Structure formats: C-alpha cells, structure tokens
Structure 1
Amino acid sequence: MTQPPKPDPARLRHAPTVALVRRGPEGPAVLMGMRGAKAAFMPSKYVFPGGAVDAEDAAFSLAVEPDPVTLQRLAIVPRAESRVTPQQILAAALRELAEETGLLIGRPGESPMTGYAEAGLMPDASGLHYVFRAITPAGRPRRFDARFFLADARHVQGDPDDFSRACDELSHLHWVPMAEARRLELPFITEVVLAECAAMVAAAG
C-alpha cells in the first residue's frame, strides 16, 4: 500500500488567524472553538479561527484593504522563497473565518469565495488589525508562518451568534470573556495572542 507523503519539516505554510472580539456590558469576549481530539495539529486545544493559505486565495479580491500599518507589517521580512502576497493572506483569514464559524465580514458585492458568494458579499479586510507574526521553530513536523489579526465583531454581517454554517473543524464555538479565556486549554501561542489582543482592546478603550 502506498503511504501518503510525510509533511516536509522544512516547509513553512502561511497561516492567518483571526481573534474576533465582541464588546459588551460585562467586558470584551473573544470567539474561540476547540480542535478535534484526533486533529494532527493542536488536538483538543481551544484556538481562534484560522488556517493555512490556499492557492485559490490568490483569486479572491477584497472589497477594502486594511489600514496601511497592517499592510506594511504584512510585507515585513518576506521569505525569499514565498510568493504569497499580503492580499492573499488577508483573503485566507476571512475565508477561514467563514469556513470555521460561518461568520462573514464583507460588503455588498460579488465574490467566488464560499459563503460570501451565497450572501452577495465581497470580503472586507478593513477591520483586520495586525497583532503579530510567529514562525513555528525548526524541527517540528508541521511549521507555519502565522499572522494574527484582531477584528471587531461589529463588522460581522448578520447574527454573530449564528454558527449554523460553520464546518466541523472547531467544536464548542462560543464567545469567551477575555478575562476568563486563560482558564481554557490553550496552546502557548494562543495565550500570547490573547494577551496582546487584550492589551490592544484595552488601549482602544
């Protein structure tokens, strides 16, 4: 029997993640879900929606690009072997958010992106704010060049509690008070992102 190829430990995949935050009278809450127990990467851990950039993401246009600072930071220290553009990373972030949660951040328009096409929307990256970048250390079986973004749930089109269109990659999707999120089973990098996002939310007032 032919065995599937093993992941190339030297291959880095671009992977955007979105920390979606909702403000309320009891303080900000962040949307999180739990990865499956049999997942190859971070099993049974609570994470933010996100995933790897696909080749198809290059074909998705954005209704609006993010602020100049976010674009500049996305372009810093590009890897010479990578041809992935900042726009492709942003499109992947919104696509993964739509796939894993069913939530759309868009404006009226036409797009072939799943979820957006059916809703008559075009993905809108203007609400994505760059948090930071993290690269999986060498020697790991799966390595990612990850970018983390913060977004306000006010930009979501429709009901932010409606996860009926979400795929099954994340279970137990729910809004977690930021002050309580650290009690969940989190990967270390998610703890770091959570702290950065909490600081950004507090600074914004």
Structure 2
Amino acid sequence: MTTGGNVKQAVDKSAIRDAATIILTRGGPEGPEVLMGQRGAKAAFMPNKFVFPGGAVDAGDGAVPLAKTINFDCGRRLAEGAGAARAHALTVAAIRELWEETGLPMAARLDWPGTPEPDWESFAAAGMMPSAEGLTYVFRAITPSGRPRRFDARFFLAEVGAIATDPDDFSRASDELSHLQWIPLGKVRHFDLPFITEVVLAEIAHTLDHGPADSVPFFDNSGPESVFRRIA
C-alpha cells in the first residue's frame, strides 16, 4: 500500500478510508483456487492474517488512465454514494494494489499515454496499461468501529486470464504480503483468516458455482449498528 507517488502523507487513522481488494481466481487440480498472502506480524491492521491483495485508495488513483473500464452494471453499483470519479479510483486502486503486493499486472499491452505517476513507472515501462475489464464488483464492507484502522472496502472478483504475465511469478512483489500462494477454495478455511474474509469467500464460492448475483452484499458499519443490505 502506498500513498500517491510514494510521498508520505498524514493520515487520520480514525477516519474510514476507501479501499479496494481483488480476489483473483483460477482453476486447479482440486477445483477453484484463490490468490492470498499473509500480513506481517507487526502490521497495525489484521496482523498475521491471510488476506487478498488490497489496500487504501491513494490520492492519485483517480487520475490514472485505464485501457478498459469495468462493466456498466458494476460501475453503476460502485458509483452509488461515491460518484463516477470515485468508482474509477477504486478500480485503479484494486489493480495497483494487486501489482504492488503480488507483482501481477491486470493489464492490456498498450503504451502509456503521457508520463505515468511514480507508482506506475514500472508498469508503464513493461508496455502495459491497467485494465479493469476483467473485474466484477462482488462485495462491500465497512470495518466496525473500535478497530485501529477502518476501511470502506470494495471487493472485486477476477479470473486469472486478466493477468498479462505468468500468474505464478511473484518476483516483482513487494514485501507487504508473505507466503503468496494459490489456495484451493476447499482448503482456504484452514488458514488464519479475518472474519470478513470468510464471509467474502462464501460469497465467492456461490458466485463461482452460480454466476454473479444481481446485487452486491454490503456490510455497513458506518453507524452505531451493523446493517446488512444489498446494492441492486
């Protein structure tokens, strides 16, 4: 997770920050697999937990060009309560976090128009532009109050075919997640998972079996009580 062009910025740790996560899937010998890694023991948020690649939206994400945008229905649901510009920033953040934490580019082979931001220089140097075409918006959750960090997280599902390089090559990954690995869905619950990740995995299993739902589940903890609703 970075802060816009690798420049450190003061962050209100009590504020709810927009965040984006990608659940990358592929077929395996034991059925569907998901890509996960382990957070460090000293991490302020979810230490030692196995999680999907993801993190907070950076200030510059809204200005990053996309080769292709997310599909219309997902874009409409993302924009609810946030607007089209924020929806764009969320998809960019998801792709950036996947790239930073795993070294896997969700991209199209195109030349970058103009000069890329510092966070995207290596991406552009490889002859790639981020592409949100392969993303499906599948879940939203706001971290409950009382936690050391709080996020309004949007979860995206993507098939491995959206990756422009070898999906087993993590050589470009940062050190934010360790033990990066493809885990069969049937075995993933044996890992140390955050509660919300377990909930999202159940939704993903249903989506892989039956196709995308016509609404997005939303655990809303923005107020004094937890509310579950769906974004149609």
Settle same-fold status: TM greater than 0.5: yes
The one of 165, 188, 195 aligned to 1:188: 195
Counterpart residue number, 2:40? 36
Counterpart residue number, 2:20? 16
- Tell me, in whole angstroms, the C-alpha distance in 1 between the residues paired with 2:98 and 2:64: 15
| Shift of residue 150, structure 1, vs aligned partner | 0.3
The one of 129, 138, 150 aligned to 1:122: 129
Counterpart residue number, 2:209? 202
Matched, 1:159 2:163: no
- Tell me, in whole angstroms, the C-alpha distance in 2 between the residues paired with 1:110 and 1:89: 22
Counterpart residue number, 2:228? none
Farther off after superposition, 185-194 or 22-31:
22-31
State the SS of the aligned residue for 2:165.
coil
Root-mean-square deviation over aligned CA pairs: 1.9
Q: TM-score, normalised to structure 1's length?
A: 0.90
Counterpart residue number, 1:52? 56
Matched, 1:177 2:181: no
- The structure whose RCO (Cα within 8 Å, separation 6+) is larger is 1
How many percent of aligned residue pairs carry the same amino acid?
55
The answer for unaligned runs of 5 or more in structure 1 is none
CA shift in 2, pair 1:69/1:172, >3 Å: same
Give runs of ≥4 in structure 1 deviating > 3 Å: 5-8
- Tell me, in whole angstroms, the C-alpha distance in 1 between the residues paired with 2:40 and 2:85: 28
| Shift of residue 84, structure 1, vs aligned partner | 5.8
Alignment of 1:80-119 (within 5 A): 85-111=86-112, 112=116, 113-119=120-126
Q: Answer yes or no: is the 8 Å Cα contact 2:28–2:184 preserved in 1.
A: no
- Tell me, in whole angstroms, the C-alpha distance in 2 between the residues paired with 1:114 and 1:188: 35
- Tell me, in whole angstroms, the C-alpha distance in 2 between the residues paired with 1:200 and 1:65: 21
State the SS of the aligned residue for 1:165.
coil
| Shift of residue 119, structure 1, vs aligned partner | 1.3
Q: Answer yes or no: is the 8 Å Cα contact 1:135–1:144 preserved in 2.
A: yes
| Shift of residue 7, structure 1, vs aligned partner | 4.2
State the SS of the aligned residue for 2:35.
strand
Counterpart residue number, 2:226? none
Alignment of 1:126-137 (within 5 A): 126-137=133-144
Counterpart residue number, 1:63? 67
The answer for unaligned runs of 5 or more in structure 2 is 1-9, 213-232
| Shift of residue 109, structure 1, vs aligned partner | 1.7
Q: Answer yes or no: is the 8 Å Cα contact 2:45–2:148 preserved in 1.
A: no
State the SS of the aligned residue for 2:88.
helix
The superposition leaves residues 35-65 of structure 1 with CA deviations (integer Å, 9 ceiling, x where unpaired) of 0000010000000000000012122111101
User: What is the total number of aligned residue pairs between the two structures?
Assistant: 197
